[in-house]
Every structure is written in C-alpha cells, then in structure tokens.
Chain A
Amino acid sequence: MAEAHSTLLLQVKGVHKRFGDNVVLSGADLDVPRGSLVTVLGRSGTGKSVFLKCLADIMPADAGEVLFDGKPLGTADPATRAEFRRRCSFLFQSNALFDSLTALENVRLPLEQTSDLSDAEIQERSLEALRQLELEKYLLSYPSQMSGGMQKRLALARAIVTQPELVLFDEPTAGLDPIRRNAVFLMIAKYQRQFGFTAVIVTHDVLEAMAASDRVALLDQGRMHFQGTPKEFAHSTDAVVASFRDSAAALGTALASLRGGGTLSVED
C-alpha cells in the first residue's frame, strides 16, 4: 500500500516541543504518504496529542519542520497557512462540537465561514455529509442529545464536509469499550477509503491500529522510534516495539506467574 503512494502529503522533520523543563518532543519525524492511513502509537503521556497539534499548526513547535505538500508550515505566509487549514481537518479527542448549535448547524459552520458557496449549496453539502454518516434523522438534535458514537460521527461529518485532503484524529477511541473502538476504527477506515483523504490517527490501541492502518509509527521518549507497515511492526524484534506491541501477552504471562506463586512487580 505504501509503495502505491510514493508522494508524501505530510512530512515532519525533527520536531521539538517542551513546556518549561518538561521535554515532550525531541526530534520527532513522520512521513505520511498521500492517501494513506497512518497511525501514531505511544503510551499515555508520551506527547502524541502535542505532536498532532504541532502537525495541525495549532501549537507552534520549538524547532523542526512540518512540510505539507512540500511547503514548510512554520515559516509560511498567512495565505499558505490558510490554504493548509482549508485542506486539513482536525478531530479532537473531545469532539469539540459546538454544544449550542444543532447537528446541521455544526456541519454547516465551516462552510459558512470559510467558503464562498451559496446557502443552498452549503445546505446540500451539509445534508449529504450527515446522510453519509447516517445522521440524517438527527439534523435538529444538539450534541448533548446524542450518544458518544453519534457525536464522533457528527465530528467526522463536520471534518469531511469541507472535502479535506488530510484529516488528523486525536485519540478517536479514548474511553470507548472494545466493540465501539472497533466500530470507530472501521468507520474511519471506511470513510478514508470512500472519500480518499489522508488520515493520521494518534492512539494507543495497538491491535485496531495494526488492522486498520497502512503505516504505523511508534512515539517513544519524544522521538519516532519506529515507522513502517503493520506487518513490519508485527515482526519487529526491537525491544521498545515488542514491549508495546506484546503488552497484552506480557500481562498474561505475568498473571500466570502470579497464580503460580511468583511475585509481580508493578514496574513489570
């Protein structure tokens, strides 16, 4: 799959970010081929969301470069940045839906504020996005009246209504049970193929990421420790990759040892 998309839509080179004395990113790199679904894995608190916000140009990196379609964003003029924002959508972990607007108004908003479309065209495109995400029955519902899964779909409808080339997903499955987690990954993979956008997802759900992604990256101690296909990730013998990938198996082994009368250290 990766070979089929040799052109990189997004390229991250040596991004650094620190908050006071806390160094979060220390030279993180990432290559995102056009049309692919790339997942960035990492433990909680390793700076995955900060990395994604640096990519989305909503948090300035201290050093390093983010290239979108070959153009650097950090030193770009306002017009290039506006062009990037028009071609990129960001899905927040919290969905960030406007709670005082209905589902339809939420989806209409980016088109109303950033496009020159007529009111009829905006309505048509918004209704189409909601229909494709199977939310046509909830046009006048407020986000608070929807379930978590529906809110996620509404956020995705709002993200795709502008027909972006790149969609960034910040922990889209955080706090969901395994069945809903699978459903969200399936939804992202389905719409990514249907609409043809490039997707970058940050998550710590290893199995789902390996099943749904074209490429997988592992962020560890501020750097991208691994980048490759899910197959390469599955067969990697690197200790950091293996400990993250095989954490469930390691837990089973440790628990078996405990049941057999052994001792278990929390650090294990």
Chain B
Amino acid sequence: MISFLGRQTLTLVHGLGDFALFTLRSFQAVFGSRRMLRRIARAGFEQGVRCLPVILIVGMFTGLVLGLQGYYVLNRFGSESLLGALVSLSLVRELGPVLAALMLVGQAGSALAAELGIQRNSEQIAALETMGVNSLGYLITPRLIAALVVYPMQTALFVTVGLWGGSLSGSLLLGVQPGVYWSAVERAVASQDVNECFIKAATFGLITIALCCYHGFNTHRNRGASGARGVSASTTRAVVQSSILVLAADYVITSFLV
C-alpha cells in the first residue's frame, strides 16, 4: 500500500515536472521560430472565431437563467433592483471565466489534442524534427500565445452576452426596469472585478491549452493505448484534466484575490 502510494506520488511529481518543462520549452521556442505571427493568427482563428457560436449561445443562456433565478430569489426580499448587480458580479467574477474556459476546452482543446495526437501517430512531428524544425516552436508556441489573447477576449464576450441575457429575462420577461438593471450593473462592477476576470481567463487559457497540447503531443507515450485508441485516450485525458484544473485554479486565484 505504502509503495503503491509512493509510486503514484512519484508518477504525479514526474508528470507535473514534465508538463512544466514542456510549457517552459514551448515559450522558449518563440525566440528560434520563424514566421510566428502568421501561425499565432491561425491559432487565434481556431480558438477564437471557430468557438464564437458556442460562447455566444452558452453566454446568452447563462445570463437568461441567472436573470430568472436571481429575480425570484431577490423578489422574496423585495430587492429586484439588485438583479443587475447579482448577474454582473456572478458573471464577471466566476461564471464568465470558468464557463468560457470550459466551453473552449470542449471545442478548441479537444480538437487540439486530437490533431496533435494524429500528427504524432502519422510521424508528422518526427518529420518536423528531421527537417531541423523545432516542433514545439512550430506547433505549440503559437497556440499558447494565442490562448493568452483569445481567452480573455472570449470571456469578455461571454460576460457581455450574459449581461444582455440577464437583462432580457429580468427586464423584458419579468418587469425590472432596464435603467434599474443597467445602473445596478454599473454600480456593482469595479475595475478590480474586471481585472480578476481577465487574470482568471488568461490563466485558464494557458493551463488548458498547454495541457491539451501536452497530451496530444505526447500521445505516443500512452501506456496500453496506441493508434486511434491512443489519440482517443489523450483527448479524453486532456479534456478531463483541463476541466478539473480550471476549477482548482479558480479556487486558488479567488482565494488570493478576494
């Protein structure tokens, strides 16, 4: 039992170290890579434009539900005028960064892990290395840099659409005055909340995209699963671990910033 726990701990520590080195080397590779801007733009398109519909839809429904639930809770205390504050603070501080990150993991992260896994299996990554191309610099670095820019933008969009969703259900369906709703939003959200939102979004973006890249890039190191099953295992692991890490990192960041 003790030896089993010891082995698992060693494996975990080794894995964390390996992941940290992978991320660090990917950032270092920015200095030796050529034509980086074009690849960052392409990665930004994959993580940004392609994920736009899901961000808009989920953001809208999150705002609608928050408006609906919030109204009936506040109505019990005669505080419907605070609906804007409830919706905005929930979205800006917590739900916006977390839900947007989870949506991006589901859409962009899983696609990324699968794509890299297939590239590893079909020897495309080995081919890059035989050409003398730094595979981390070519495949990973632009995606990490794009994530640092795209995640905060997507989160801002998510929050904005969510606020409109809250306004829609609160004002249009349930009778809160639009002016009351938006003035409550304006009074409630401070610049510190917005900073917290962007810090979380950028951190989640870095963690999740790095983790998805790490699992896809190292598909060949999967034990007991190779070929298509190896890609499937890498993708599943990437999505599950990224989702857990988003929530864990959210707790850590919140405990420091609150």
- Whether B122 pairs with A110 at a CB distance below 8 angstroms is no
- Whether B131 pairs with A92 at a CB distance below 8 angstroms is no
**Is B249 an interface residue, CB under 8 A from the partner?**
no
Q: Which residues of B contact A183 (CB under 8 A)?
A: none
- Whether A110 pairs with B124 at a CB distance below 8 angstroms is no
- Whether A162 pairs with B123 at a CB distance below 8 angstroms is no
- Whether B133 pairs with A114 at a CB distance below 8 angstroms is yes
Question: If the complex has contacts A99-B122, A112-B34, A113-B34, are A85 and B132 also in contact, measured as CB distance less than 8 A?
Answer: yes
**Is B186 an interface residue, CB under 8 A from the partner?**
no
Q: Which residues of B contact A99 (CB under 8 A)?
A: 122, 124
Interface size class of B (residues with CB under 8 A): 10 to 19
- Whether B122 pairs with A94 at a CB distance below 8 angstroms is yes
- Whether A92 pairs with B126 at a CB distance below 8 angstroms is yes
Instruction: Name which residue of chain A comes closest to B129, CB basis.
Output: A58
Distance in angstroms from B230 CB to nearest chain A CB is 16
**Is B138 an interface residue, CB under 8 A from the partner?**
yes
Instruction: Name which residue of chain A comes closest to B130, CB basis.
Output: A90
Q: Which residues of B contact A112 (CB under 8 A)?
A: 34-35
**Is B194 an interface residue, CB under 8 A from the partner?**
no
- Whether A96 pairs with B126 at a CB distance below 8 angstroms is yes
- Identify which of residues 94-149 in chain B touch chain A, using a CB-to-CB cut-off of 8 Å: 119, 122-124, 126-127, 129-133, 138
Q: Which residues of B contact A92 (CB under 8 A)?
A: 123, 126-127
Distance in angstroms from A170 CB to nearest chain B CB is 9
Which of A56, A86, A113 has the most CB atoms of chain B within a 10 A radius of its CB? A113
Compute how far the CA of A79 lies from the CA of B59 in the bound complex, rounded to whole angstroms: 51
Q: Which residues of B contact A58 (CB under 8 A)?
A: 126, 129-130
Distance in angstroms from B32 CB to nearest chain A CB is 10
Instruction: Name which residue of chain A comes closest to B38, CB basis.
Output: A112
Interface string of A2-32 (1 = CB under 8 A from B): 0000000000000000000000000000000
Distance in angstroms from A142 CB to nearest chain B CB is 13
Q: Which residues of B contact A85 (CB under 8 A)?
A: 130-132
**Is A89 an interface residue, CB under 8 A from the partner?**
yes
Distance in angstroms from A26 CB to nearest chain B CB is 24
Distance in angstroms from B171 CB to nearest chain A CB is 46
Instruction: Name which residue of chain A comes closest to B132, CB basis.
Output: A85
Closest 5 CB pairs of A and B: A85-B132, A96-B127, A90-B130, A96-B123, A113-B133
Hey, which bits of chain A sit against chain B, CB under 8 A?
A: 56, 58, 82, 85-86, 88-90, 92, 94, 96-99, 109-110, 112-114, 162
Question: Can you sample 23 A-B contacts with CB below 8 Å?
Answer: A58-B126, A58-B129, A58-B130, A85-B131, A88-B130, A89-B130, A92-B123, A94-B122, A94-B123, A96-B122, A96-B124, A96-B126, A96-B127, A98-B124, A99-B124, A109-B133, A110-B131, A110-B132, A110-B133, A112-B35, A113-B33, A113-B131, A162-B131
